[in-house]
Structure 1
Amino acid sequence: MLAIVLGMLIVNCGVLFLRMHAFLALFFGALAVAAATTSLSVSQSVLHRATAGIAEIQGNEIVLTDIEEGLPKKPGAYYIASDPSFVQSKQEPVLVWVDRFEEEDEITKAYVARDLPTDMEVASARFVSQDTYREAKQLAGSSAINRVADSLGSTFGKIGILIAMASIIGQCLLSSGAAERIVYGIRHAMGERWTALAFVISSFVLAIPVFFDTVFFLMLPLAQAMAQRTGRDYLKYVLSIVVGGTLAHSLVPPTPGPLFVATELNVSIGAMILGGIGVGIWGVIAGYFYMLWANRTWQIPLRIEAQEAIAEEPNAESDLPSFGFSILPILIPIVLLGLKTVSQTALPASTNEYWNTAISFLGDKNIALSIGALLALATLFCKPAMTWVGLGKSVQKALSEGGVVVLITCAGGAFGEMIRQTNIGAVIAESLPSSVGGTGLLITAFMITAIIRVIQGSATVAMITAIGIVVPVAMQIGLPFHPVYLALAIGCGSKPLPWMNDSGFWVISRMSGFTEKETLKTFTVLLTIMGLVSFLATLVFAILFPLV
């Protein structure tokens, strides 16, 4: 526990007081946690989620109890019986060959090739596969910096390509004018009377591949233009951008936070997208009605300094690509990921083999996002006067910006993994009341994320940090519902109570021309309401539709 507190202090103090780059704060925090964690805790973090207890030994029969979810039951393989201290034990582990496993009347038995020693302490012994035992021993013997470096590389393998492709999609949509076309198209389809709702939908769609602050910069001139034309409702137009964009930032991949959380929980990207939209829409509805109430309650004018803050004017609609062409880089990846999710969960196993193969390939998260990036490049290449050199510069800019995000996310992944290696999951799970089940874990995950968010400000860092604490606990107590709900609870927890330590707070305040007090009573309250309502929707769906 002291190791985790030390790491949290380094991250929070580094970000808040030393103004350290998030990558450095997370990296040094991970290194501190790794150095302060004992090798015994490291080994137990691996073994405790992949072992079983030995209830009784009857000749060549081993009666297993307290079976962890991660224990592989593979007949014809070596297993190890050892005491609880595992790899640091002075007692030599007993290596046995398991011929087969049998389950009868909720009792699991392992039949071994030879009898176990009669003097073995059955009450304290654990049963684990040889591969897992070897992994735990090797990890416990690694240095702190090697464990951090390995975790950095492992995280990059999971999300590196996705973030790079998402950055290309976002940059190309902005440079080609496709992002503006999407906004104009949705607004024209809904009519000027529903401009605020059109802004909500547009910002939600754009925030899937584009970071929220970029979406805000893009759409704020449109909001200011509408306020200038009507002479009123400036607050409504600004908050409508926030209502749509901010929840997508925390709930819908491929933005880094939800992407990383889904990856750590082995939730498919398609399921996370569908789940994020499914619960996020309730937060958006609540935010929309709060936005209307706030606009009637407080009249915040369009101030001169806000107009001067925006250097670029929106492009003329005639210079923008078509709506159908503009939406493809976002729509196609979502469709492919959704098809793969449906194919794996809803379609019968007898479905055409070629169809399954094609959907499995095209619906792979890296392939789907790569196709989206190619389509986004096409929208930019078709822009008048665009050259190969200009195209290359746009890709270079996208990758340079995406590279920073990859570094931060990978450092966050290493920090989360180092927290897991302290074996905090087993400690928290044992301290929780036995009555705490999946719903209690959802509330715990939401609260942990919200607390970290309030302390250090960044929603993404809060999600990355919280997942390192929550995943081991989930493995210990088990989940009575699909893990996507746990991922969504963490995403919802990253929304409440943004204040002066959040960069997004200052983006909204300075670019919109709001005072700090105005930002607190509008933006801060809005995000808190949206996070809470989305979390309540997550709880309800988890209870009614567990999807086990």
Structure 2
Amino acid sequence: MPLLVVGISVLSLLLLMTRLRLNGFAALLLVAVGVALVRGIPVASIPDVLSEGIGDQIGDTMLTIGLGAMVGRVMGDSGAAQRIACTLLHAFGPRRVQVAMVITSMLIGVTMFYEVAFIIIVPIAFTLVRVTGSKLLWVGLPMSIALSTMHSFLPPHPGPTAVAATFHASVGLTLFYGLFIAVPLGTLIALTWPRLPFIKAMTPSIPKGLVSEREFTDEEMPGLGWSLFVSLFPVVLIVAAAVTDMATAESPFLHVITFIGSAPIALLLTLCLAVWAFGPRIGRSLDDVGASCTSAAQAMAMILLVIGAGGAFKNVLVEGGISDYIKDATEGWSISPIVLAWVIAVILRVALGSATVAVVTASGVVLPLLAGSGVHPEMMVLAVACGSIACSHVNDPGFWLFKEYFNLSVIEAIKVRTTYTTVLAVLGLGAVLVAERTLDVLNL
């Protein structure tokens, strides 16, 4: 019954948005209320459940997305994004623009959340689309796939790190093994998916207000050094914080690094730097720079509302007992711990949309099976992590970020994102099984 409720709610959401053309924000809230009523959540508590879901989601993403969009627009309106895009084009050539996006995304995405890295890199992708005349998905999709792979498979991202702690696995070994799986799989799918006929048939345009429409001359653009420095500044801060988190020593200095390396603070500092570097330093007035920030904020309003409503929908599913039902139903299954961990993570991901809930619950279910099984705990971490990326759809707030930035319809977003995340999860499981077998043969 609980899984039937999930299925009906997803179909209802698709009907509301595709046939009735209801706004995504309103449709998500309407379906969330319906699910809450069906699952027996007290009527008086429903507003609080919705608010909690919106608050948790917006609290995690609003500062990151809002500040990141402002940084991107300031760089775009000053010509800095075009300078970086032109440099990538010169280094790789127009025919290898996808390779450039994959390499850039994987290097940045190793330590950064999907949403944070997405917001930082997407202005460059938009600029490459405009400069080269390529289709938006041809350039943007490899970026998103590469970031999804890094975020889902590898520590120090929160899901794999939390599961590593549950299984008492080595974070370093998990990262080492995960790179051998994530990099080739992510690259393969990132370069294959945009070439599929049903993807090539889609021709979305860049959303208005998120990128400058102006084409700059070489003399008008800022230098490459400043452009790269500002774009990589938050990456350096966040990486420093990630490394600091692994330190065992306690000191005020480490706490300061952790503070300035948190995504919102890092992006706030980057915005301040960008305002000066691409404002007064190059002769632009603060009024012009402020107008860029305002334009970015206006363009982000509906995106943030839809993402928040996706968080409300997710929270209703969790509070409605869906995850507990799945946990109880799968505890007696007698299959390989690796496969079981992956299957449970996939089911929870499909039902709830939350990768975090999926990995935490799945690891708790299979933890008793790990002792005495002979399975390497690092492989269990990777199995749960790759299962949690599967089937991203309408109950996943990340789905809505992807949909809105690439200006897709709900059906188009499902065709693109749901398929690539599912194939990535399936191939990831196969690679984990092969890796586990290889470690056994080598007695490692």
TM-score normalised per structure 2: 0.66
Instruction: Give the alignment of 1:141-160 within 5 angstroms.
Output: 142-160=44-62
**Does 2:379 match 1:477?**
no
CA deviations on 1:29-75 (whole Å, 9 max, x unpaired) are: 21111222225xxxxxxxxxxxxxxxxxxxxxxxxxxxxxxxxxxxx
**Does 2:86 match 1:198?**
no
CA contact (8 A) 1:485 1:542 kept: no
Residue matched to 2:15 = 13
Residue matched to 2:219 = 318
CA contact (8 A) 2:342 2:387 kept: yes
**Does 2:145 match 1:223?**
no
Q: In structure 1, give the amino acid aligned to 2:249.
A: S
CA contact (8 A) 1:262 1:487 kept: no
CA contact (8 A) 1:151 1:417 kept: yes
CA contact (8 A) 1:3 1:33 kept: yes
Residue matched to 1:350 = 249
| Partner Cα separation in structure 2 for residue 344 and residue 251 of structure 1 | 22
Instruction: Give the alignment of 1:51-62 within 5 angstroms.
Output: none
Query: Percent identity over the alignment?
Result: 20
Residues 195 and 30 (structure 1), Cα distance of their counterparts in 2 relative to 1, 3 Å cut: closer
Which structure has the highest helix share of the two?
2
CA contact (8 A) 2:102 2:187 kept: no
Residues 238 and 421 (structure 1), Cα distance of their counterparts in 2 relative to 1, 3 Å cut: closer
Unpaired segments ≥5 residues, structure 2: 110-114, 165-170, 206-210, 368-376, 394-401, 440-444
Higher Cα radius of gyration: 1
CA deviations on 1:354-382 (whole Å, 9 max, x unpaired) are: 33222221122321222222233334315
Residues 529 and 341 (structure 1), Cα distance of their counterparts in 2 relative to 1, 3 Å cut: same
Please report how far the alpha carbon of residue 243 of structure 1 lies from its aligned counterpart in structure 2 after TM superposition.
5.2
Q: Number of paired residues?
A: 381
CA contact (8 A) 2:126 2:140 kept: no
TM-score normalised per structure 1: 0.55
Q: Match of 2:256, SS? A: helix
CA deviations on 1:7-47 (whole Å, 9 max, x unpaired) are: 323322222222222211211121111222225xxxxxxxx
Residue matched to 2:90 = 188
CA deviations on 1:109-147 (whole Å, 9 max, x unpaired) are: xxxxxxxxxxxxxxxxxxxxxxxxxxxxxxx68422232
Instruction: Give the alignment of 1:61-460 within 5 angstroms.
Output: 142-190=44-92, 197-198=99-100, 200-201=102-103, 208-210=117-119, 217-224=126-133, 241-242=139-140, 244-248=142-146, 250-251=148-149, 278=179, 281-287=183-189, 290=192, 314-345=215-246, 347=247, 349-350=248-249, 353-382=251-280, 384=282, 386-432=284-330, 433-435=332-334, 437=337, 439-446=339-346
Please report how far the alpha carbon of residue 420 of structure 1 lies from its aligned counterpart in structure 2 after TM superposition.
0.8
RMSD: 4.9
Residues 530 and 476 (structure 1), Cα distance of their counterparts in 2 relative to 1, 3 Å cut: closer
Q: Match of 1:319, SS? A: coil
CA contact (8 A) 1:243 1:288 kept: yes
Which structure has the highest strand share of the two?
1
CA contact (8 A) 1:420 1:472 kept: no
Q: In structure 2, give the amino acid aligned to 1:218.
A: T
Please report how far the alpha carbon of residue 328 of structure 1 lies from its aligned counterpart in structure 2 after TM superposition.
3.0
| Partner Cα separation in structure 1 for residue 21 and residue 269 of structure 2 | 38
| Partner Cα separation in structure 2 for residue 529 and residue 241 of structure 1 | 20
Residues 213 and 442 (structure 1), Cα distance of their counterparts in 2 relative to 1, 3 Å cut: same
CA deviations on 1:186-227 (whole Å, 9 max, x unpaired) are: 333456785653354457769934388865542223334xxx
2:353 to 441, 465, 468: 465
Q: In structure 1, give the amino acid aligned to 2:26.
A: L
| Partner Cα separation in structure 1 for residue 387 and residue 222 of structure 2 | 38
Residues 183 and 484 (structure 1), Cα distance of their counterparts in 2 relative to 1, 3 Å cut: farther
| Partner Cα separation in structure 1 for residue 346 and residue 218 of structure 2 | 42
Please report how far the alpha carbon of residue 182 of structure 1 lies from its aligned counterpart in structure 2 after TM superposition.
1.4
| Partner Cα separation in structure 1 for residue 425 and residue 121 of structure 2 | 16
| Partner Cα separation in structure 1 for residue 384 and residue 91 of structure 2 | 36
CA contact (8 A) 1:416 1:468 kept: no
